[in-house]
């Protein structure tokens, strides 16, 4: 995949480059890994025949840039959602273990008097 060749129709006299797109996406606080994935995905679509059309108010390159932004944000959002889900699962697991440990402690405390009473009864009947 030759990215420089694929961006040529959208470059607007050389002003739009892959490097500039990466820099712009980084300014949107998107991690580099998601930017790379978005670039590979969108440019693969272009290589397969996808064409971005301009409008009366915006160039085709503008729509390309915003497709890259949309794709990178979607990838970032998916990863964040997955991270939050993992954090929730870990927290719930931790709380379940804490509740189980707490329940075991309460049961142990409740059994101590029973154990004392059982020992007392055994001693009483040995006499």
Domain boundaries, the chain: 3-126
Of 109 and 20, more confident: 20
pTM here?
0.67
Please tell me the predicted confidence (pLDDT) of residue 109. Answer: 67
Q: Sorting pLDDT into bands at 50, 70 and 90, what band is 23?
A: very high
* First CA to last CA distance, the chain: 94
- Chain segment 79-122, per-residue pLDDT in tens: 988 988 888 888 878 777 777 776 677 666 666 666 666 676 67
């Amino acid at each position: 995949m030759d990215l420089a060749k694929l961006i040529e129709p959208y470059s607007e006299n050389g002003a739009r480059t892959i490097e500039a797109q990466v820099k712009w996406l980084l300014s949107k606080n998107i991690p580099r890994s998601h930017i790379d994935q978005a670039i590979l995905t969108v440019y693969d679509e272009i290589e397969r025949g996808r064409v971005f059309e301009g409008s009366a108010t915006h160039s085709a390159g503008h729509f390309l840039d915003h497709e890259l932004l949309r794709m990178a944000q979607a990838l970032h959002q998916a990863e964040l959602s997955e991270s939050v889900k993992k954090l929730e699962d870990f927290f719930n697991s931790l709380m379940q273990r804490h509740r189980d440990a707490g329940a075991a402690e309460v049961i142990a405390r409740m059994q101590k008097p029973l154990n004392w009473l059982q020992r007392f009864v055994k001693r009483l009947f040995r006499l």
